[in-house]
Structures are given as structure tokens and as C-alpha cells.
Structure 1
């Protein structure tokens, strides 16, 4: 047992702080999603959902409702059918950012497909008090899940590419705040339960981390293949 523990600690020491943080985040999101599934579909506990609905109702007003509708739009299907393709075209214009264009396209598409698959699997109806007419199912929230995948990728790009600390943290903070408001807007408008939103956040982050990892592997393979072909051309 001591030898096994020692080997585990040695392996952990080889990992970077970033790799450990990513691994812990992945595991935490997996646990959160599993816990939400258990609470909703096994124990059928509505305590958290009712508490958040009551909190939202306590400060509901015409102005706040309008604001929440606007916030909700920034993760709607209409918006996400336009914003990612526009960003893809912008990033594709710059040679150094073309892989980000591919990541945006692939992650936006796959997260949407995965969300629809999960909704059809769990088949949870929307709250009957919904303030917007939306026909799709409720669990997990598409706005939360696809929004995290899209804006989370933008946060990742800002983290990697923006070197000025002020602008880097300003953009990261604004994007993170927008994500939180999008999730809350869905509860405020009664189109999702709080558990839908938390499950959407968890699965969105899970899929984003996995997709970035797989895309980095693909990028590395492609670059190695490209360099090998160029080397062969020079030698011939």
C-alpha cells in the first residue's frame, strides 16, 4: 500500500498544476451532473428548484423580466446559429487562429447534438409556469450547457491569446458573469428548473474540457504530419 501511494504521489508530481486543476474540474463536474440526475430522477427532490423559483419571484418586475429576456437571448438557438459561424469566419482569416475557428465550429455543433441527446434520454418536461413558449424538453438546460461550451471556449481563447493582464481578466470576468446571468435568467423566466441549469453547466464544462483535449491531440497530429511532409519535400 505504501509503495502504491508513493508511486501515485510521484506521478502526481509529474503533472503540471494546470493538468491537476483540469482533472479535478472534470471530476467535480461529473459528480455534480450525477448528483443532479439522482436528485431529480431518483429522489425526485424539488427543494432546490422551489427555493430558486421563490427567490426569483421575490424580485420580479417588468424591467427585470425584460433584462432577463435579453440575457437569455445570448444563448438562444437564434443567437447561436449566427455568432459561432461569424467567429469562425473571423478566426479563419488569421493563420495563427485557424485552429480556434475549427474548435468553435466543432464544439458548438457537438455540444448542441449532445444536449439534444441527453434531453431525449431524460425526457423531463419544462415547468408549467414557464414565461416563454419553448417546446423542447428541460433537462439539462441547453442555454446553460451550450452557453458554457461556447463562452467557455472564448474564455479559454482569451486565456491563451490575450497577454495584457488587464484585458485578459476583464474579458474573462465579463464572459463568466454573462454565463452566470444566462443560467439565472432561465430560472427567473421559469423555463428551466435550477437543477436543469446546474446539470447543463456541469455537462457543458465536461464536454468543453474533453473536446479541447481531443482537438489539441488532433492539432498536434496534423502539425507533425504537416512538418514531416514538408521535410520530405525538402529532402527530395
Structure 2
């Protein structure tokens, strides 16, 4: 993965995410998202069925909860003990922990109440932005990034992107289907977490580049043995 491309893409994604999140937050504050939320909720919930509800509950658990924690811990253990990628482990922790803290901060700022109509699951706390959506974007986004760096074929990278996208979208849709989040909560969560992920990727790749340059300088300064 070319560093110049990573830097450019990270800056563009972070700017788009920050602008998009700000726009949604302003529209929510002015109560101008009802038209969007009501239409998307009606479209998603029209497919309600006992079987689909089970699937959506499962996806929701993968977004945040016991399954999410287990998966996160397993990835951390594999990075440290199996692959010995200590710096990638720190990067992974930074993305996950930072996204969680950012969600807490944003919810405390906006104080948006959750939907009250047609609830299929219990949920507490404020609604905007969706914590499940942010956690899903952070976890599967950083996982795709780390695996992409080691994938050797275009097919493998394509499958990574498709799988990550399906998981992120599925978890977000599950929160709308279950009636515990507005669609704008989910989109806002994606934008907030995407912005955070892009910023951290920029700093991480920048640090790797400088570390590599320092190592190369040390090698050049080493006296040659005759």
C-alpha cells in the first residue's frame, strides 16, 4: 500500500466524515431529519418477521456486547502472541478505545432521545450517534485495514472490503430494524467513527514512515567493516 495514497485518502475521508457528521448534527438540532428517518424506518421495518428479528438481534450483538468484546480480545491476542505485531496491536487498541470514548463524548453533547415507537429490543442511554454503528465501523474498518496490508491478491482485498461492508451495514440496519436508533443516528455513527479511523490511520502510517526513515539513517551511519 503506497504511503502517499494512504495519506491522501486518510485526509479526504476524515474531511468528508467530519463535514458530513457536522451537517447531520445541525439538521438534527433543527429537527430537519424527520423526513429521512421516518421513510427509512418505514422501509426497514416493513420486512419484520420472527426469523429476520432473530438475525437482526444476532447482528446487533456483533456490533456491541459480549460477542463484540470476545472478538476484539481474540484479535488483540492474535496480534500480540501469534503474529507478534506489537505496533499494530497498539494501533488497533487506539482505534477501538478512541471510537468508544468519542461515542460517549458525542452522546453527552447531543442528548438525543431514542425512538419510542415499535421497539423490538431494549436499549438505554442517548441515541445520537449510534454506539453500535461506531463500534462496528471501528472494529471491522480497522480489521480490514490491517488485513489489507497483508493481503497479496486483488481477490482477497475485494473479499475483505465486501465482508467488512456487509458487517458494518448489517449492524447499522439491525439497530434501525429493532427500533432503538434513528437512521440518522446510524449514519452519524458511521461518519464519526470513519473520521476517527481515518485520522488514526494517517498518524499511524506517518509514524511508521518516520520510524523507517530513522532506521535507514542508522544503517547508513554505521561504520562499514572491512
TM class, shorter-chain normalised?
0.7 to 0.9
Match of 1:82 among 70, 95, 98: 70
Give how far 1:26 is off.
Answer: 2.0
TM-score (norm 1): 0.83
Q: Tell whether 2:110 aligns with 1:122.
A: yes
Q: Tell whether 2:33 aligns with 1:52.
A: no
TM-score (norm 2): 0.86
Alignment map for 1:9-24 (pairs within 5 Å)? 16-24=4-12
Q: Which runs of 5+ in 1 are unaligned?
A: 1-14
- Partners of 1:108 and 1:149 within 8 A in 2: yes
* Backbone CA RMSD of aligned residues: 2.6
- Partners of 2:10 and 2:201 within 8 A in 1: no
Aligned residues: 221
Give how far 1:96 is off.
Answer: 5.9
- Partners of 1:99 and 1:219 within 8 A in 2: no
Give how far 1:227 is off.
Answer: 7.4
Alignment map for 1:1-236 (pairs within 5 Å)? 16-94=4-82, 97-129=85-117, 130-220=119-209
What CA distance in whole angstroms lies between the structure 2 residues aligned with 1:105 and 1:16? 24
What CA distance in whole angstroms lies between the structure 2 residues aligned with 1:195 and 1:19? 29
Structure showing greater relative contact order (alpha-carbon pairs closer than 8 Å, 6 or more residues apart): 2
Give how far 1:158 is off.
Answer: 2.2
Q: Which runs of 5+ in 2 are unaligned?
A: none
What CA distance in whole angstroms lies between the structure 2 residues aligned with 1:80 and 1:134? 17
